[in-house]
Structure 1
């Protein structure tokens, strides 16, 4: 295929991402009102887990093929990008506000998950590590759902009520569930088109697999998170937006790490670079501390996150070139 045709397929994927992400956010928000689930849990679990599927697919496939650089580079790069570039871009456009529970519960849980994954990546992932990460994934999911239920007599927050106006009838929950499924399918399909063709172009330009994982593939597989975050923030739902990014990092680390470890089977995925793992953990801690300052990300703080990404990326690329 010509370079122009490959680039065209990537643009089609980006268009699918945009439309699918908008419908995913709308459907998830309305479904949350019917099921009486807190907006942040929708972002962390439903959207965070769903939009992380491209990372699982790409990294699992790379692990089966024995490509450790791409498998782990994609996960590490996506985790850095989510809480620096994406959160920073969204907060520069409009300051992000979240509820007090996010810096207390979801943010530290994300940092813990990223740190555990980083520790396994440093020594090399194998089957037993995949099993342990899978068990931790189930435990984190159970904990999030248990802590984030909304009591039936609690009113919906004003921003959520406005977002889902008019609210869906209780008996029509399946309509919003279908909207979520279709939106997620379009989002993932668009991501797959974009990632596949971006990787093809990168290989034609002679870029290494590790660098492709940090840059092209990480950016491509993080586009669902970017699109859903932009759409959620545009509609004034900060909890859903931040929950999406924190949940994506949590599941990238635990579920994605489990997929890579299990896919490796008896083989061991080679240890990943200390610099990259450290940068990933530092990025998560930085986002947590900024959220903890005042349950918000202001424009100056967003610039800090963008500068952090701008400093980390050249270091990672030069170390893995």
Structure 2
């Protein structure tokens, strides 16, 4: 048991570090190919930071561990808008502009609702295709909105800052001095590392669940979801310290959007036609309620106070008893 736990932790470490290099390498490569900074910010970085959730859930579904896969996505969705957002609001007021509340946030909530319903129905190749189509439409909408007005400049600036920053563990050379071949190689090796880390994490988490006679969805909802959400937690804390609270909201709701649509599509397509795993009603309802709660609190005054942060943290504390009772 201890050996499996150590392997799962090793997989999580490899997954986190490799995902960092995958996103950085991909975004710098896109920048060198003269792809619009808005597209880099919304698509490359937005999708890339959710890669751990996609691949962990995809690998789990391909192994037949659909409960772990669904639990990971559901847990990440709930954790992002309760625990992570609550911690950010405790550190300082989280404020947003009205257009984010009117457009990006409702789109993310709608994505969570769609995923919750289809996860309850049962993720399969058919529902996977439906989620994939919805994901493509959502990306087009996000890129179009990002090109309008101030958001164009904001997203472009954020994308530039991201590509200029080093990875958590990086080579001590400035980005401008690295050879042209380095970033593509970094991205490929990062992808390989994410796959290896996902394999280690999923196989050992599934074995631990079997040894402890714990449902896979519980392991996915707790340990795996918390592990794959660590990049969002780190990014959120850093952005809040810099006073970029709108980036905090965009990152968390955007992560939920990509988790639900792209991650759900990956799980559905990887599950195969014989998959019969369905999310419990309590899990699906909890996803919807937590997304709606965060949206409602932000709409009240376009900001979250410390009291409201405690409400979100309390909501996260209540999710586990609800799940266990289902």
Do the structures match in fold with TM over 0.5? Answer: yes
Describe the SS at the equivalent of 1:270: coil
Match of 1:231 in 2: 238
Q: Which moved more, 1:190-199 or 1:219-228?
A: 190-199
Match of 2:273 in 1: 266
Q: How many pairs align?
A: 311
Match of 1:309 in 2: 316
**1:74 paired to 2:72:** yes
- Per the alignment, do residues 14 and 28 of structure 1 end up closer, same or farther by CA in structure 2, a change over 3 Å counting? same
- Per the alignment, do residues 112 and 10 of structure 1 end up closer, same or farther by CA in structure 2, a change over 3 Å counting? same
- Per the alignment, do residues 17 and 62 of structure 1 end up closer, same or farther by CA in structure 2, a change over 3 Å counting? closer
Task: List aligned pairs for 1:7-46, cutoff 5 A.
Answer: 42=41, 45-46=43-44
1:258 Cα deviation from its structure 2 partner = 0.8
Q: What's the CA shift string for 1:40-94, capped at 9, x where partnerless?
A: x93x644442222112112212222222211211111111111111111111122
- Per the alignment, do residues 126 and 105 of structure 1 end up closer, same or farther by CA in structure 2, a change over 3 Å counting? same
Mapped partners of 1:104, 1:184: distance in 2: 35
- Per the alignment, do residues 96 and 69 of structure 1 end up closer, same or farther by CA in structure 2, a change over 3 Å counting? same
1:270 Cα deviation from its structure 2 partner = 2.3
Match of 1:87 in 2: 85
Aligned counterpart for 1:63 among listed residues 61, 64, 67: 61
- With structure 1 as the length reference, what TM-score do the two structures score? 0.77
Instruction: Output the aligned Cα RMSD.
Output: 4.0
Task: List aligned pairs for 1:1-321, cutoff 5 A.
Answer: 42=41, 45-149=43-147, 204-319=211-326
Q: Which moved more, 1:307-316 or 1:18-27?
A: 18-27
Q: Which moved more, 1:84-93 or 1:190-199?
A: 190-199
- Per the alignment, do residues 202 and 121 of structure 1 end up closer, same or farther by CA in structure 2, a change over 3 Å counting? closer
- Per the alignment, do residues 304 and 65 of structure 1 end up closer, same or farther by CA in structure 2, a change over 3 Å counting? same
Q: Which moved more, 1:92-101 or 1:143-152?
A: 143-152
- Per the alignment, do residues 36 and 307 of structure 1 end up closer, same or farther by CA in structure 2, a change over 3 Å counting? same
Mapped partners of 2:240, 2:192: distance in 1: 21
Q: Contact 2:19/2:48 (CA < 8 Å) preserved in 1?
A: no
1:206 Cα deviation from its structure 2 partner = 4.1
1:190 Cα deviation from its structure 2 partner = 7.4
1:23 Cα deviation from its structure 2 partner = 9.0
Describe the SS at the equivalent of 2:325: helix
- Segments of 5+ residues of structure 1 without an aligned counterpart are none
1:8 Cα deviation from its structure 2 partner = 5.9
Q: What's the CA shift string for 1:115-156, capped at 9, x where partnerless?
A: 111111121122111111111110000010011115599876
Mapped partners of 1:240, 1:28: distance in 2: 20
Mapped partners of 1:97, 1:26: distance in 2: 27
1:111 Cα deviation from its structure 2 partner = 0.8
Q: Contact 1:261/1:269 (CA < 8 Å) preserved in 2?
A: no
Q: Which moved more, 1:301-310 or 1:45-54?
A: 45-54
1:266 Cα deviation from its structure 2 partner = 2.0
Q: Contact 1:48/1:243 (CA < 8 Å) preserved in 2?
A: no
Describe the SS at the equivalent of 1:125: coil
